[in-house]
Chains A and B, each alone.
Chain A
Amino acid sequence: MIDLIPVSLRVNGVRYDIDIRPWRTLLEVLRESLGMTGTKRSCGEGQCGTCTVLIDGKAVNSCLYLAVEAQGKEIATIEGPPAGDPALQQIQRSFVSKGAVQCGFCTPGMVVATKALLADNPAPSEDEIREALVGHLCRCTGYVQIVEAIQDAARGMQDAASQMAPKGSD
């Protein structure tokens, strides 16, 4: 039986060459091999969303994804790139200022999922936000503050984008 296999994972823009066992999930490798514990483990079956990461920009449950299958893909986690990620930071600020963080265990997954949502849909409606949160459980907030935080983050990112845009473009 093949045991350790070498893989090269790109996480938050940094390349990690490691040897892993093929039955390791991406969640296990992030937390246990790379020491990135911001991605949480909870239900282990894709229901709670705490383990959400982005693979090539798309939100996935890292507990249901083999690490070997992430080889060659861009993985983004809550830790973000070393130089920082303005989108992630805006979302984090909004979660903080709108009271969307209580126990904080669902928060990293929610924040990462929000990044994917707003990349696809910069101005989501309330319904679209709620739909995007399907698969993310929060037991503390009742989601109200989370929905508000995402609305706030969307506004914040649009404001930032309009400031960046060359004058006269609107």
Chain B
Amino acid sequence: MNEQIRREFQVLGKPTPKKDAPLKAAGRAEFADDINMPGMLHGKLLRSPHPHARIVSIDTSRAAALPGVRAVITGKDFPGVRYGNLPRTRDYLPLAIDTVRYIGEEVAAVAAIDEDTAEEALDLLQVEYELLPAVFEPEEAMKPGAPQLHAPAPGNISAHTESQFGDVAAAFAEADYVREDVFETHAVKQGMLEPHACVGVWDSFGKATLWSCKMSPYTVWRQLAMGLDIKPSDIRVVQTYVGGGFSGGKQEAMPMDFCALMLSKKTGRPVKFVHTMEEVLTIGHMRHPMKIWLRTGTTKDGRILAQHCKLLANGGAYSSIGGFSIFLAGAMLNLPYRVPNMKFESDRVYTNNGFCGALRGHTVVQMCFARDSQLERIAEDLGIDPLEIRRRNALHDGDVTPNGFRINTFAFDECITRVAEMSGWYSKRGKLPKYRGIGFGCGAHLSGARLMGHSASAAEIRMLEDGTVHLTTGSTDVGQGVETVMSMIAAEVLGVEVDDVNYLKVDSAATPLDPGTFGSRVTLFTGNAVKQAAEEVCRQLAEIAGERMGVDQQDLVFRKREIINRKDERQRVSLKEIVRWAMFQQGRVITGRGTYGASEEKIDFQTGQGNLSPAYNPTACAVEVEVDPETGFVDVVGLWGADDSGTPLNPMAVRGQVIGAAVMSIGHALYENLIRVDGKVMNPSFRDYKMPQATDLPKLADFQHANVITWEPEGPFGAKEAGQGAGTGVIAALANAIYDATGVRLTRLPMTPESILFGLKGVQQQKGNRGP
């Protein structure tokens, strides 16, 4: 039946170029930095040079007196209300008031007639600091007597979670085999190419408007209201094109947003801010560096009986969504495996570094690196084939995990099979030349999380008199293809072409409320809402058409811009004609609304019990590497991945997402590392923060991806997420491949040539010690 539905797709399921691609390829898509308004001023932020200090005083007089400077503001120009994501973790301020907690924190802002003058003015701001002791590592920060970052968080514990399912102690006691390992992950950045940028206008009637490249405009809208202490209805957030997001700060209100508005209020002019890449790489929003202690007990045939994980996350100076970050790590510890007994304890600790939050794959990536590296060691110790141990422990359709995840569709086994075939696993593993190796890695993700606060999505469709479709939701395209897949869903239901659907960017004054783009929620959540809205429009149009055609509306189908009597296909009327009739003769506005709230299922965030997402997707990949034994250099020569993204609605976009996610993970595993020395980022530059280039990746022929197609009942037309899961298994696969090639087991990221070379020396020494 599912096959049949797919075959009958008119629009969905066909590789479809992004609707906005022609505009973007022509350089005519307007990004936030491209906005220019008459009289516009340019803003710049002064940042703290100290990791931890009290602000004694700020003298703005010299800066204010510089010709061309129009206004200077400090933290005291704001109401002093903290903002953030959860009531308990609201610790951001638009500008620091009395304390700075990391190098790069925003202290003051200026608006001037041009960027040069604004920069010059920063040098004239005189800030007197009283230095405070600083702490950079979580272990140090938790010690008694350590410098305290936030009064409400004794011991610098920013967040703590604990959960236990099943009888972990008994399961370990029963286990034939138990091993413990410690893994360490590092600070990495989102690396979107578009720096944060915004333009703010606060008019004399008290209405504040922000144009910005936001992934989650409504989150920004609420946070602006919070930090400015004004009504949300006095604020409007308008989304521009977004030049990459990955949760690099574009999901929240940032100091630049507050300052653009406040400086506009003071000057009566539009004010634009654009970060330099140095600022982007220095400030917060990065992946949590973690120490992961993982203990696993299995039967002698490699079946996992229990896992116990202790995790320590270096959260940096502020909360961001760090509480959820570590919760998610625990919740996703088991996937894609069956782990009947599991225990998870974790602390997120404040330190005087840039703060950490989400980044593609969120904390699932770190957990998968640890777990799938360890699983490989278990397989080796027990003499089990690495693929076989994964199959033995694989979750399947219909499983319910001990923490309450209800798995509808989960083609993990098929993913493993496909990767084995594509990569030639069995002809390669153990048979490759020396220093060449192949490794396997698996992961999983969810299709949007049910959250404590705003979780649901909505969509609205209005028919226009020419038969085209005006579609609005609160979900933003950040490059992943939202505007295209939402248009495709609407077009599929309404029987029109993708180009007939006009998908508007988010504007808090006009588009439905939505939590935004994150957590792989959009295709499933917003997609369901769009489908429902389109169905509602069809119902209304069918009613009118049925009456006019004298046909039972149940018999009407929507296809090729026409409404057709399925019992007598000669009876048909164009969509346009019906819409015009409804509008012109009846004065009706044909609109349809849809919502999706993923049901009202409750997640217990204390115990971790509950079905966190409507759908879950597994992923598997194999990576082949060649290691230079004299330098430790790793050449990634092949990557083969398979994912169960449900039914790919736009295969072109799905392919783009999964390959992009895999490549980002290669970068994070091998090249990228945000190096901090005493809280100072040493490499805030694309010269030294090294993301993969086109030459760093396998050739087209050895870089393949397959979709294992399932029909997810919760998804719109069977779809699940695609943008994050595919990156989760890659790092472990690389670690396992490097081990296969060299015998060096790396448990610490990044896997640098240096660590491999010295690891090789260690391996050779051990061999020497053991004798021939």
A54 → B minimal CB distance (Å): 13
Q: Which residues of A contact B18 (CB under 8 A)?
A: 96, 99, 101-102
A134 and B703: CB pair below 8 A?
Answer: no
Q: Which residues of B contact A136 (CB under 8 A)?
A: 693-694
Q: Which residues of B contact A140 (CB under 8 A)?
A: 244, 479-480, 656, 660
Q: Which residues of A contact B277 (CB under 8 A)?
A: 42-45, 48
Q: Interface 1/0s, chain B 26-46, versus A by CB < 8 A?
A: 111111011010000000000
Q: Does A154 contact B (CB under 8 A)?
A: no
Question: With A37-B30, A104-B479 as given contacts, are A95 and B21 in contact (CB-CB < 8 Å)?
Answer: yes
B195 and A42: CB pair below 8 A?
Answer: yes
B192 and A139: CB pair below 8 A?
Answer: yes
Scoring A37, A111, A144 by chain B CB atoms within 10 A of each residue's CB, the highest score goes to: A144
Q: Does A146 contact B (CB under 8 A)?
A: yes
Q: Does A62 contact B (CB under 8 A)?
A: no
Q: Which residues of B contact A35 (CB under 8 A)?
A: 36
CA distance A145 to B18 in the complex (A): 13
Set B29, B33, B244: member contacting A139, Cβ < 8 A:
B244
Least CB separation from A38: chain B residue? B27
B650 → A minimal CB distance (Å): 9
B17 and A96: CB pair below 8 A?
Answer: yes
CA distance A144 to B698 in the complex (A): 9
Question: With A45-B685, A137-B193 as given contacts, are A79 and B27 in contact (CB-CB < 8 Å)?
Answer: yes
B691 and A130: CB pair below 8 A?
Answer: no
Least CB separation from A129: chain B residue? B694
Interface residues of B in 1-58 (CB under 8 A from A): 15, 17-18, 20-31, 33-34, 36
Q: Which residues of A contact B195 (CB under 8 A)?
A: 41-42
A142 and B662: CB pair below 8 A?
Answer: yes
Q: Interface 1/0s, chain B 628-670, versus A by CB < 8 A?
A: 0000000000000000000000001101100110111000000
B467 → A minimal CB distance (Å): 25
Categorize the interface residue count of chain A. Answer: 35 or more
CA distance A44 to B28 in the complex (A): 21
B660 and A141: CB pair below 8 A?
Answer: yes
Interface residues of A in 23-64 (CB under 8 A from B): 31, 35, 37-45, 47-48, 50
A101 and B21: CB pair below 8 A?
Answer: yes
Q: Which residues of A contact B653 (CB under 8 A)?
A: 99
Set B34, B274, B685, B694: member contacting A143, Cβ < 8 A:
B694
B505 → A minimal CB distance (Å): 13
A96 and B25: CB pair below 8 A?
Answer: yes
CA distance A96 to B246 in the complex (A): 22
Q: Does B599 contact A (CB under 8 A)?
A: no
A124 → B minimal CB distance (Å): 12
Question: With A103-B193, A136-B694, A140-B656 as given contacts, are A96 and B21 in contact (CB-CB < 8 Å)?
Answer: yes
Q: Interface 1/0s, chain B 221-244, versus A by CB < 8 A?
A: 000000000000000000001111
B663 → A minimal CB distance (Å): 3
B660 and A105: CB pair below 8 A?
Answer: no
Q: What's the dominant secondary structure at chain A's contact region?
A: loop
Query: What number of B residues sit within 8 Å (CB to CB) of A?
Result: 59
A146 → B minimal CB distance (Å): 7
Set B36, B276, B660, B686: member contacting A142, Cβ < 8 A:
B660
Set B194, B656, B685: member contacting A47, Cβ < 8 A:
B685
CA distance A78 to B31 in the complex (A): 15
Q: Does B191 contact A (CB under 8 A)?
A: yes
B652 and A99: CB pair below 8 A?
Answer: yes
Question: With A42-B193, A43-B686, A103-B194 as given contacts, are A142 and B659 in contact (CB-CB < 8 Å)?
Answer: yes
Scoring A44, A92, A137, A140 by chain B CB atoms within 10 A of each residue's CB, the highest score goes to: A140
B476 → A minimal CB distance (Å): 11
Question: With A38-B26, A139-B193 as given contacts, are A134 and B694 in contact (CB-CB < 8 Å)?
Answer: yes
A47 and B686: CB pair below 8 A?
Answer: yes
Q: Does A147 contact B (CB under 8 A)?
A: yes
B480 and A102: CB pair below 8 A?
Answer: yes
CA distance A110 to B347 in the complex (A): 43
Q: Does B481 contact A (CB under 8 A)?
A: yes
Scoring B26, B276, B652 by chain A CB atoms within 10 A of each residue's CB, the highest score goes to: B26
Q: Does B677 contact A (CB under 8 A)?
A: no
Count how many pairs of residues, one from A and one from B, have CB atoms less than 8 Å apart in the complex: 178
Q: Which residues of A contact B660 (CB under 8 A)?
A: 102, 139-142
B697 and A143: CB pair below 8 A?
Answer: yes
B698 → A minimal CB distance (Å): 9
CA distance A12 to B21 in the complex (A): 22
Q: Which residues of B contact A106 (CB under 8 A)?
A: 193
CA distance A50 to B24 in the complex (A): 12
Question: With A103-B244, A140-B660 as given contacts, are A95 and B25 in contact (CB-CB < 8 Å)?
Answer: yes
Q: Does B602 contact A (CB under 8 A)?
A: no
CA distance A103 to B479 in the complex (A): 4
A144 and B193: CB pair below 8 A?
Answer: no
Set A38, A92, A129, A137: member contacting B686, Cβ < 8 A:
A137
CA distance A134 to B696 in the complex (A): 10
Question: With A42-B193, A47-B687, A48-B686 as given contacts, are A137 and B693 in contact (CB-CB < 8 Å)?
Answer: yes
CA distance A101 to B19 in the complex (A): 10
Q: Does B151 contact A (CB under 8 A)?
A: no
Q: Which residues of A contact B703 (CB under 8 A)?
A: 144
Least CB separation from A106: chain B residue? B193
Q: Which residues of A contact B656 (CB under 8 A)?
A: 99, 102, 140-141, 145
A72 → B minimal CB distance (Å): 24
B349 → A minimal CB distance (Å): 29
CA distance A126 to B663 in the complex (A): 18
B712 → A minimal CB distance (Å): 23
Q: Does B62 contact A (CB under 8 A)?
A: no
Set B17, B664, B699: member contacting A99, Cβ < 8 A:
B17
Q: Which residues of B contact A131 (CB under 8 A)?
A: 695
B242 and A144: CB pair below 8 A?
Answer: no
CA distance A140 to B699 in the complex (A): 18
CA distance A88 to B326 in the complex (A): 47
Q: Does B700 contact A (CB under 8 A)?
A: yes
Least CB separation from B27: chain A residue? A38
CA distance A157 to B468 in the complex (A): 35
Scoring B193, B243, B274 by chain A CB atoms within 10 A of each residue's CB, the highest score goes to: B193
Question: With A96-B25, A131-B695 as given contacts, are A105 and B686 in contact (CB-CB < 8 Å)?
Answer: no
Q: Does B491 contact A (CB under 8 A)?
A: no
Q: Which residues of A contact B21 (CB under 8 A)?
A: 95-96, 101, 104
Question: With A47-B685, A102-B480, A126-B699 as given contacts, are A92 and B243 in contact (CB-CB < 8 Å)?
Answer: no
Interface residues of A in 77-124 (CB under 8 A from B): 77-80, 92, 95-97, 99, 101-108, 111
CA distance A142 to B691 in the complex (A): 11
- Given A47-B686, A47-B687, A99-B653, 15 more A-B residue pairs with CB atoms under 8 Å apart are A44-B278, A45-B277, A95-B25, A96-B17, A99-B652, A104-B23, A107-B24, A111-B25, A126-B699, A139-B193, A139-B244, A139-B660, A143-B663, A144-B697, A146-B694
Q: Could you jot down 29 A-B contacts, CB within 8 Å?
A: A40-B33, A41-B33, A41-B195, A43-B277, A43-B685, A78-B26, A92-B22, A95-B25, A96-B22, A96-B25, A101-B17, A101-B21, A101-B24, A102-B18, A102-B480, A103-B241, A103-B244, A104-B21, A104-B24, A104-B25, A104-B243, A108-B24, A136-B693, A138-B193, A139-B190, A143-B692, A143-B697, A147-B694, A148-B700
5 A-B pairs with the lowest CB-CB distances in the bound complex, closest first: A38-B27, A104-B24, A103-B479, A105-B243, A142-B663
A interface residues with partner B (beta carbon < 8 Å): 31, 35, 37-45, 47-48, 50, 77-80, 92, 95-97, 99, 101-108, 111, 126, 129-131, 133-148
